[in-house]
């Protein structure tokens, strides 16, 4: 069952499978209820009855939100209930195509002694919904809260039980939200959808690279661009570094969007192998747009951003940098280089600094392409 939200459909592997059990997890306030109301609306328009069970907000609140989002028409039934047996009897009489449970943490089964939200309640409730879905029932979407501290008591304990697990992520005070599949019985995992939170809910972002690079300052030091693979899709992201003299002897390293250990490691490589005096400098790193990069393919771009800020020299214009950096200062090949380069060409990049190991596979090209073996070669080629 498809919505017209491509980002949602694609992350699910092409749409919602009838009779499947899907879990959507995310931190409180990230936009799960908003997204699912929008999904409910579009599914209702195409496929008929949808039951939205709300236990965290009142019927009135949910209705007001739906009105504001413009997701009010269509056969969406709202139910404020936390007792699973009552919900199931409603499902039996209504026969909806899809049931959305917002949230699984507030549901309870009478037969279980512990409080709603406890691990045994969560497990048993999800198992009950699983039976309902598999028994020729509706597709069921469970919303689950993930808290920074208590991941264990949240959706993690249900991952093995459900068909698909999606996570909605992002920085709460930044507009972009990422929807990721962590598990999918019906499609590929690590597929990713990008949304922007606005006044009318979550809008899909069809061309994330262009948006993520839109405000990139040109000709300033400390900024580089990398093409990361998110699922099947390459996305261009800007990495920013600010390197400034340490005031108190003990240099600081701070990072948002890239693992701090990676920054420590790359700083050490730059110091030892490329002779950059980073132990006397603080290094701040940022991936713009609130997106996290967890691919080593971004290493070389991080190194160039740091070196660029330290030397106060911008990168050559229209240059894209790719490569994993090892402890010996060597630049290692990355996967799927063609797809990454294709996306960068589409956005106007014409000059590429890539691992030598990848260059061979590319053959002759009509754009400027440099294969490098060492991080030092990349620094020479990259900075103006
Ligand atoms: P919500 O869907 O309630 O989050 P969750 O269900 O994951 O806890 O979304 C919460 C935030 O989204 C809230 O702080 C306000 C914001 N928001 C918007 O910015 N625009 C909108 O149109 C809506 C509905 C919410
Ligand atoms: Mg909610």
Asked whether the beta carbons of 117 and 153 are under 8 A apart, the reply is yes
Is 238 a member of any domain?
yes
Judgement on whether residues 149 and 258 belong to the same structural domain of the protein: no
Give the residue, out of 23, 26, 32, 34, with the most ligand 1 atoms within 8 A of its beta carbon, to mutate for a pocket test: 34
Of ligand 1's listed atoms, the one at least distance from the Cα of 27 is: 7
For ligand 1, atom 22, the nearest C-alpha belongs to 201
**Given 173, 206, 239, which residue is the final one in a domain?**
206
Give every CB contact of residue 44 below 8 A, 6+ residues apart in sequence.
50, 74, 75, 76
Give every CB contact of residue 201 below 8 A, 6+ residues apart in sequence.
31, 34, 35, 37, 38, 69, 71
Asked whether the beta carbons of 378 and 323 are under 8 A apart, the reply is yes
Judgement on whether residues 245 and 165 belong to the same structural domain of the protein: no
Question: 139 in helix, strand or coil?
Answer: strand
- Asked if pLDDT for residue 151 goes beyond 70, the answer is no
Asked whether the beta carbons of 192 and 11 are under 8 A apart, the reply is yes
The pLDDT of residue 355 is: 97
With CA atoms as reference, report the closest residue to 109 among 95, 96, 133, 126.
126
Of ligand 1's listed atoms, the one at least distance from the Cα of 200 is: 22
Judgement on whether residues 30 and 169 belong to the same structural domain of the protein: yes
For ligand 1, atom 8, the nearest C-alpha belongs to 29
- Asked if pLDDT for residue 190 goes beyond 60, the answer is yes
Of ligand 1's listed atoms, the one at least distance from the Cα of 57 is: 3
CA of 35 to the centre of ligand 2 (A): 9
- Say how far apart CA 215 and CA 208 lie, in whole Å: 13
Give the residue, out of 26, 28, 31, with the most ligand 1 atoms within 8 A of its beta carbon, to mutate for a pocket test: 31
**Given 206, 232, 253, which residue is the final one in a domain?**
206
- In the chain, the number of structural domains is 2
CA of 169 to the centre of ligand 1 (A): 13
CATH classification at residue 32: 3.40.50.300
CA of 245 to the centre of ligand 2 (A): 44
Is 1 a member of any domain?
no
- Ligand 2 (ion): which residues have CB within 5 A? 33
How far is residue 217 from each of residues 120, 170, 322, measured CA to CA in Å? 52, 23, 20
Tokens matching residue 243: 């390197």
Asked whether the beta carbons of 39 and 8 are under 8 A apart, the reply is yes
Asked whether the beta carbons of 101 and 32 are under 8 A apart, the reply is no
- Say how far apart CA 239 and CA 219 lie, in whole Å: 14
The CA-based angle 36-170-166, given to 5 degrees, is 45
CATH classification at residue 345: 3.30.230.10
**Given 155, 177, 206, which residue is the final one in a domain?**
206
Average pLDDT, the chain: 90
CA of 31 to the centre of ligand 2 (A): 7
By DSSP bridging, strand 324-325 and strand 319-321 are unpaired
Phi, psi of 372 (to 5 degrees): -120, 150
The pLDDT of residue 83 is: 96
How far is residue 252 from each of residues 106, 221, 260, 296, measured CA to CA in Å? 42, 20, 11, 22
- Say how far apart CA 62 and CA 26 lie, in whole Å: 19
For ligand 1, atom 12, the nearest C-alpha belongs to 31
Tens of pLDDT, residue by residue over 284-340, are 999 987 778 889 999 999 999 999 999 999 998 899 999 999 999 999 999 999 989
For ligand 1, atom 23, the nearest C-alpha belongs to 201
Of ligand 1's listed atoms, the one at least distance from the Cα of 37 is: 2
Question: 129 in helix, strand or coil?
Answer: helix
Asked whether the beta carbons of 96 and 77 are under 8 A apart, the reply is yes
Residues in the chain: 384
Query: Residue 132: which domain range?
Result: 6-206
- Asked if pLDDT for residue 376 goes beyond 80, the answer is yes
- Say how far apart CA 87 and CA 80 lie, in whole Å: 9
Phi, psi of 126 (to 5 degrees): -65, -40
- Asked if pLDDT for residue 182 goes beyond 90, the answer is no
By DSSP bridging, strand 164-169 and strand 50-54 are unpaired
Tens of pLDDT, residue by residue over 338-366, are 989 988 988 889 999 999 999 988 877 78
For ligand 1, atom 16, the nearest C-alpha belongs to 31
Judgement on whether residues 72 and 187 belong to the same structural domain of the protein: yes
Tokens matching residue 291: 């997106």
CA of 34 to the centre of ligand 1 (A): 6
Pocket of ligand 1 (CB under 6 A): 26, 28-34, 65, 69, 197, 199-201
Is 126 a member of any domain?
yes
């Amino acid at each position: 069952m498809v919505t017209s939200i491509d980002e949602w459909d694609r992350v699910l592997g092409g749409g919602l499978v009838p009779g499947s059990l899907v879990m959507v997890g995310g931190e409180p306030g990230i936009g799960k209820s908003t997204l699912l109301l929008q999904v409910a609306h579009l599914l209702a328009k195409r496929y008929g009855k949808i039951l939205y069970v709300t236990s965290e907000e009142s019927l009135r609140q949910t209705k007001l939100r739906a009105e504001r989002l413009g997701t009010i028409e269509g056969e969406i039934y709202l139910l404020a209930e936390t007792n699973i047996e009552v919900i199931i009897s409603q499902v039996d009489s209504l026969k909806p195509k899809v049931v959305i449970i917002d949230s699984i943490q507030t549901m309870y089964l009478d037969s279980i002694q512990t409080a709603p939200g406890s691990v045994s309640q969560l497990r048993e409730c999800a198992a009950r919904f699983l039976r309902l879905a598999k028994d020729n029932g509706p597709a069921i979407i469970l919303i689950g809260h993930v808290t920074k501290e208590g991941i264990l008591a949240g959706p993690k304990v249900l991952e093995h039980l459900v068909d698909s697990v999606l996570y909605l992520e992002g920085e709460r005070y930044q507009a972009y939200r990422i929807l990721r599949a962590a598990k999918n019985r019906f499609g590929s995992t690590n597929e990713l959808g990008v949304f922007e939170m606005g006044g009318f809910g979550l809008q899909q972002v069809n061309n994330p690279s262009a948006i993520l690079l839109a405000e990139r300052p040109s000709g300033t030091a400390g900024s580089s661009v990398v093409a990361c693979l998110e699922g099947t899709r390459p996305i261009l992201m800007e990495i920013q570094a600010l390197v400034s003299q340490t005031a108190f002897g003990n240099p600081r390293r701070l990072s948002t969007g890239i693992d701090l250990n990676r920054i420590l490691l790359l700083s050490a490589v730059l110091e030892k192998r490329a002779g950059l005096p980073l132990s006397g400098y603080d290094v701040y790193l940022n991936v713009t747009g609130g997106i996290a990069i967890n691919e080593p393919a971004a290493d070389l771009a991080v190194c160039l951003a740091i070196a660029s800020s330290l030397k106060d020299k911008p990168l050559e214009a229209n240059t894209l940098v790719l490569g994993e950096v090892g402890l010996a200062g060597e630049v290692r090949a990355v996967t799927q280089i063609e797809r990454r380069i294709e996306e960068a060409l589409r956005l106007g990049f014409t000059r590429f600094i890539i691992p030598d190991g990848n260059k061979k596979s590319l053959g002759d090209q009509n754009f400027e392409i440099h294969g490098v073996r060492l991080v030092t070669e990349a620094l020479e080629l990259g900075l103006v």
